[in-house]
Amino acid sequence: MPGKTGVLMKRLFVRLGILPFLLVIAVIIFALMSDNFLTSRNLTNVLRQSVFLTIVSLGQMLALLSGGFDLSVGTIVAVSSVVGALAMAGLHAAMPEAITLTIALGCLAGILAGTMIGVANAVGVAFFRVSPFMMSLGMASVGFGIALYLTGGVPVYGMPVKFGDVFGFGSWAGVPSPVWIAALLIVLMAALLYGTPWGRHFYAEGGNAKAAHLSGINVTGTLFCTYVLCALLAAIAGMLLTARLDTGEANIGASLPLESIAACVIAGVSLRGGIGRVENVVLGALFIGLIQNGMNLARIESYLQTVVLGSLLILAVVADQIRLRYVASLKN
C-alpha cells in the first residue's frame, strides 16, 4: 500500500503539478487557524474576490503559452479603470437620465483604452521582436504615467450608482454577477484553446515557433493576438474592479503581474511556453485568493503576505523544473 500510494502521488504530481497538494495543505492550515474559513459566506467572498485575478490570469496564460509574459496587466487594469470612470462620470453629468447608455459607453471606453496598451505590446513583441519583459515593463511605466496624469493621483467619482449595484455588488440566482462574467470568459477561453484551430496555434507557437512557422502557422499574427487578448481580459477585469470599488483608481492592480504569473505557474503553465490548461489556471487563481483570504482571517500583516506569495511562486517554479526532469527521465 505505501508503494502504491507513492506511485499514485507521483502520477498526480506529473499530471497536475504541485497545485492539488498546496490546495489541500492550505485548506487544512487555515481551517485550523480560523473557524470562519470554511463557512459558505467566506467561501462566497473568496470566489467574488478571486474573479479579478482569474480573468487577468487567463490573459497571462496566453502570454506564457507563447513563451513570454505580460508585466503591464496591472497598469492595463488601472488605465481601463481611470478612463472608464472618467468617461462614465462625464457622460452621467451630461446625460443623467441615460444611465444604461452611460454605463455601456464608459465600459467601452475603458476596455478600449486598456486594450490599446496590449496593441502596443503586441506590435513591439510580434513585429519588432522586442523582449516581452522589456516591452511590457516599458508599457507598464507608460500606462501608469498616463493614469496618474489623467487623474492627478485623485480617485475618480461621479459614476452612476447602478454601475456598482449591478457589476460590483449585484447577484443573480444567489451568485455574484462578476462570477457569472468570469465564468462566461472561462468558457469562451476554453472553447478557443481546445475547440478551434486558432487555439492550437497558441500552443504550437509557444512550443516551437520555428516548427509552427514551417507548418504554415502565422506566428507573428498569433503572437500579436496573444498580447491583445491578454490586455482585453485585463481591461475587463479593470472595469469590474472599478464597479466593485465604485471609483476609478490609478493605483489599483499593482500586485496583479506577480499574482497572475504565480497563479499560472502554480497551475502548471510552463515558463518555457506551450503547456497550460484553462481549468488549472482558474484553480491557481482561486488558490491565490484562498491564501490571501486565509492570511487575512489569521491577521497576518500585508507585508508578510507578499513574502508568502513570492515564496509560493519560487516553490512552484522549482516544482515545475522537478516535474519536467522527472517526465524526461521517464521518457529516457
Alpha-carbon gap, residue 244 to 258, rounded angstroms: 21
Residue 177 within any structural domain of the chain: yes
Element (H, E) at 175: strand 175-176
Instruction: Please give the radius of gyration of the chain, using alpha carbons only, rounded to the nearest integer.
Output: 20
Q: What is the DSSP letter of 248?
A: B
CATH number at residue 252: 1.10.3470
Average pLDDT over residues 19-43: 89
HSE (CB half, 13 Å, CA atoms) of 170? 14
Instruction: Please report whether residue 5 resides in a domain.
Output: no
Q: Is the residue at 250 inside a domain?
A: yes
132 or 4: which leads in pLDDT? 132
Burial of 54 (0-12, 13-18, 19+ CB in 10 A): buried
Q: How far apart are CA 166 and CA 173, in angstroms?
A: 13
Which of 308, 228, 319, 311 has the alpha carbon at shortest distance from 270?
319
How far is the C-alpha of 45 from the C-alpha of 274, rounded, in Å?
Answer: 33
Answer whether residue 252 shows pLDDT above 90: yes
Q: What is the mean pLDDT of residues 10-20?
A: 65
So what's the pLDDT on residue 12? 58
Distances (CA, A) of 226 to 63, 85, 119, 183: 6, 27, 10, 20
- Is residue 3 a part of any domain in this protein? no
- Residues linked to residue 175 through DSSP beta bridges, in sequence order: 172
All cell numbers assigned to 26: 492550505
Kind and range of the H or E element at 171?
strand 171-172
Helices (H), the chain: 2-16, 19-33, 40-65, 73-94, 99-122, 132-151, 161-167, 177-195, 197-207, 209-214, 219-245, 256-266, 278-297, 302-331
Full-model pTM: 0.93
Report yes or no on 61 lying in a domain. Answer: yes
Asked if 123 and 51 touch (Cβ cutoff 8 Å), the reply is no
The predicted-structure confidence for 271-294, as pLDDT tens digits, reads as follows 889 989 999 999 999 999 999 999
Looking at every residue in the chain, the average pLDDT score rounds to: 91
Helix (H) or strand (E) holding 172: strand 171-172
Dihedral sign computed on CA atoms, order 227, 233, 236, 237: negative
Query: Among residues 202, 224, 204, 200, which one has the least CA distance to residue 214?
Result: 204
Q: Which domain holds residue 153?
A: 17-330
Q: Is the pLDDT of residue 10 over 90?
A: no
Predicted confidence (pLDDT) per residue in 75-105, tens digit? 999 999 999 999 999 999 999 999 999 999 9
Tell me the pLDDT band of 317, cut-offs 50, 70 and 90. Answer: confident
- pLDDT bucket at 4, cuts 50 / 70 / 90: low
Q: Is residue 11 part of a domain?
A: no
pLDDT number for residue 6: 65
Task: Indicate the Cα dihedral angle 290, 183, 239, 251, nearest 10°.
Answer: 20
pLDDT at 79: 98
Q: Could you tell me if residue 94 is inside a domain? A: yes
Domain count, the chain: 1
Are the C-beta atoms of 288 and 262 separated by less than 8 Å? yes
Question: What residue has cell string 509557444?
Answer: 206
Q: What pLDDT score does 199 carry?
A: 93
pLDDT attached to residue 308: 87
Question: Does 244 map to a domain?
Answer: yes
Res. 109: pLDDT tops 80: yes
- pLDDT of 2 > 60? The answer is no
